[in-house]
Structure 1
Amino acid sequence: MSEATQEIVGFDNVGLRYGTGTEVLSDVSFTLFPGSFYFLTGASGAGKTSLLKLLYLAQRPSRGAIRMFGRDLITMPRDNLPRFRRRIGTVFQDFRMVEHLSAYDNVALPLRVAGVREADLAQPVTDMLEWVGLGHRSDARPATLSGGEKQRVAIARAVIGRPDLLVADEPTGNVDPEMALKLLRLFEALNRLGTTVVVATHDVHLLRAVKDSLIMRLDRGRLSDPTGALRYPPRPGPAARNAE
């Protein structure tokens, strides 16, 4: 199976409920392909955040099957999940900065948790801050950063480990339209390097901003067109594009 067609994530009839409440996600089925860019959209309360929690392994489904990176997550022992989480980058609307750490140390945090030596992380962290346009703000604490700067630090932290999958929950919700497009271009750049990107947004103006992006729409916990994101061939991953 070629890189362009094998799945990176597969959901089959997934349902999710919290406690004894009604299902917030019902019969959700879709496939994500390597090197593709997806927008997840829907009205407030449609279940976007709940679906993203399943994608970044913060929640397990109540029913159905989830495959990720070729493994069945439903039967996987919980002790194995941290290794899989390191292959997933997450960007949240509320930034989730560690307030007492500098921008540099916030970005370095995932590498330190993974056991990377200090001597080996200085260059990639510096390069990543330059990549998001914040090389001059590396010593700044979150309290002194603007909303757009905080979001760029959050993006740098999410992608410093070059994740296979990037999941972003309303990443442009706290910034102006110009900054929203700049942040989207950062996601595009990462996507061109081969990362599969999923961006949840309520901003319909962003849906046409990324060439070849695919749209998944949630309506009251269901994909309103479960095959809509797969109606067109996925964009080839970097290896396939380089071969063209």
Structure 2
Amino acid sequence: MSAIVEFDSVGLRYGTGAEVLKDLDLRLPRGGFTYLIGPSGAGKTSLLKLLYLAQRPTRGRMRIFGEELSAAPRDAMPAFRRRIGVVFQDFRLVQHLSAFDNVALPLRLAGRDEADVIGPVRELLAWVGLADRAAAKPATLSGGEQQRVAIARAVIAHPELLVADEPTGNVDADMAARLLHLFESLNRLGTTILVATHDLSLIAATKGAELMRLENGRLVDPTGALRNPPRRVGEG
């Protein structure tokens, strides 16, 4: 199976500080479903930033969508980013837009006709339990509601790669299961998914998922009392 993302001895530092990611070698297979785990401060957020192209590696090689990132011009980045869906831990909703318009934003930026926007957005808002909150602005939504809007926005355009940071951290168990089903459905349609999470029950509920563990900026063998632990993706 071809890889959608490949790292070869990748390192990342901010400014002149110490490296926060060190010698990462990983391969995300196209169409795979992977969980990223590790303690707080391990570098998970920094790794996600590389994956959704908010940062470039400071050393090593990174390929995404078959392209060598170091050789890609900066003006190519927006086109790459449009192929990636991101669920941020802090939501990052556009505050002056309604829930409907936040979810519709990726479709409108892609130039979809409005007639092709309304139906999918309404359907997805209903799926995440927010059909009656479509007109609400983010400031009037609870944390869990904002999380669901953020997830709907990330998946509405069926991205090739979905990167999610603690996507079920602000929802109850029933909604977490519903959102997992949404991710699994998207994965079956071909989207490659990587989810950073501390929720071991979410991992155990995902059949066929793979697992990466990050500690002190390095990928290590997955450990812990996981029932039927997923296969290893990377090791340091």
TM-score w.r.t. structure 1 length?
Answer: 0.87
Equivalent pair of 2:35/2:203 in contact (CA under 8 Å): yes
Match of 2:109 among 98, 108, 113: 113
Q: Which residue of 2 aligns with 1:162?
A: 158
Paired residue for 1:208, among 197, 201, 204? 204
TM-score relative to the length of structure 2: 0.90
What SS class does the counterpart of residue 204 from structure 2 fall into?
Answer: coil
1:56-71 equivalence runs, <5 A = 56-71=52-67
- Give the alignment partner of residue 135 of structure 2, picking from 120, 127, 139: 139
Counterpart residue number, 1:228: 232
Q: Distance in 2 between matches of 1:173 and 1:152?
A: 11
Gap change, CA 1:182 and 1:127, over 3 Å in 2: closer
Give the one of 73, 79, 85 matched to 1:89: 85
Q: Work out whether residues 148 and 179 of structure 1, in 8 Å CA contact, stay in contact via their aligned partners in 2.
A: no
Q: Which amino acid aligns with 1:27?
A: D
Equivalent residue number for residue 241 of structure 1: none
**Cα displacement string for residues 172-226 of structure 1 (whole angstroms, at most 9, x for unaligned residues):** 2223334333322221221122111100012233221211110000010000139
Q: Does structure 1 residue 79 correspond to structure 2 residue 78?
A: no
Measure how far apart 1:230 and its partner are. Answer: 6.4
User: CA contact under 8 A between 1:217 and 1:225: conserved in structure 2?
Assistant: yes
**Identical aligned pairs, as a percentage?**
66
For 2:176 and 2:5, the matched residues in 1 are separated by 27
**Compared with structure 1, are the counterparts of its residues 158 and 216 closer, same or farther at alpha carbon in structure 2 (3 Å cutoff)?**
same
- The answer to whether the aligner puts 1:130 opposite 2:133 as a matched pair is no
Alpha-carbon offset, residue 121 of structure 1: 1.8
1:149 and 2:133 are equivalent in the alignment: no
State the shift of 1:140 in Å.
1.9
In 2: Cα distance, 1:103 partner to 1:88 partner? 20
Residue 180 of structure 2 aligns to a residue whose secondary structure is helix
The CA RMSD measured in Å over matched residues stands at 1.9
* 1:99-139 residue CA offsets vs partner (Å, 9 max, x unmatched): 22111111111122222232332222222223323223211
Structure 2 unaligned spans of 5+: 223-230
Q: 2:169 matched to which residue of 1?
A: 173
For the structure 1 residues 176 and 130, does the alpha-carbon distance in structure 2 shift closer, same or farther, using more than 3 Å as the test? closer
Counterpart contact for 2:25–2:234, Cα < 8 Å = no
2:23 is matched with: 27
**Which string of whole-angstrom CA distances, capped at 9 and with x for unpartnered residues, describes residues 146-174 of structure 1?**
32222111111111111000000111222
Instruction: Point out where structure 1 has 5 or more consecutive residues left out of the alignment.
Output: 232-244
SS of the counterpart of 1:19?
coil
Mean alpha-carbon deviation: is it higher for 138-147 or for 5-14? 138-147
| Superposition deviation, residue 18 in structure 1 | 0.4
Q: Distance in 1 between matches of 2:39 and 2:124?
A: 34
* Matched position secondary structure for 2:129: coil
Q: What amino acid is aligned across from residue 65 of structure 1 in structure 2?
A: R
Provide closer, same or farther for how the CA distance between residues 116 and 156 of structure 1 changes in structure 2, counting only shifts above 3 A: same
Query: Secondary structure of the residue that 1:153 maps to in structure 2?
Result: helix
Q: Is the CA contact (8 Å cut-off) linking 2:6 and 2:27 kept in structure 1?
A: yes
1:90/1:158 contact within 8 Å kept: yes
User: Are the equivalent residues in 1 in contact too, given 2:33–2:187 (CA < 8 A)?
Assistant: yes
Matches for 1:94-105 after TM superposition, within 5 Å? 94-105=90-101
